[in-house]
Structure 1
């Protein structure tokens, strides 16, 4: 089982352990990793600031303030905890896999790098926009749900970040407020209004079957690591 945006309570963890279920806890800082290990996590998933989608910060207010890049986070966590570290955020090809493993990760987790695969089933307009996105074409925004997440810097996200724009409502109120817009954007194929989550390595995502992506990343990483 995995967790994000916090930790499971002790009775729930005990029930997992009694059933032999491993717990992978998503963390964004060394302090969160240490707390997860103390709580009984079997591995920590180090989510770097490059990652697409919602930030996994335990405290919502820390999502922007404590945004740590993956390749600073991984070695810090490898030194801070004794459980395995899984690296995620900005990894979409063999180079990223090899780099993460070199820095102390035991495994990697790819997110945005799979979004253009046919199995993901995202809207073609979103998939096409990922193929064109430079790292700086994403931003962290609370405008879609009220919690911080990395998205394509589309028209709505940029407008919501303007100095004179109203502050987003708290989660999950903002999510409900934007639901009609997001639904209409999907129907119209309008990526400028979609909740188009994207990591900073979005442009590396390949439009090919997920199995091919996995094989290329792993075979390439093994070759790089010798």
Structure 2
């Protein structure tokens, strides 16, 4: 996590060795009211809390991305590498092989979910919100997720995959993730041409932005009705 601090020529004051903090703007779609978004990595028992942001009643938030994350957060990330494509869909994607990570010791923490609280009470879950554009030529879906890298790293590869579902049976995945140390935005773009049954999925990296999330209220179990007289 560290870097080489250096002395400035003017006063001998050590200069910061890590990337600067940044503030990004994002949104939660249709929150019940103003509250707090806790953004996480992983799911279930392996879910790691990463960031928090105050959300206004309209769903907007400002998120401060710290220059670094604590070692215990980064090392607790579900994967030391990166999921094959960061595929977010209810249709399973199965690929042959894996992309190549040039620095096997790199930790890449993907912020891929979260939960929503009001007055300290958890009232719903947060899932990544993709955008879709469709016309006569086909459909393009784009997903953006924040990723924290504890060092510079490159993930590359071209994979042949199969996709569950009736309308698509195959996918070609081309990844070119070039991570800088600190915060990055992964962009996963999937395109299905109108005349094809093969998805073209491409992954790249851009400057950090505030991701969009969809709010799903927590389901409360109703008490069972008496079954007999």
TM-score by length of 1: 0.24
Larger helix proportion of the pair: 1
TM-score by length of 2: 0.24
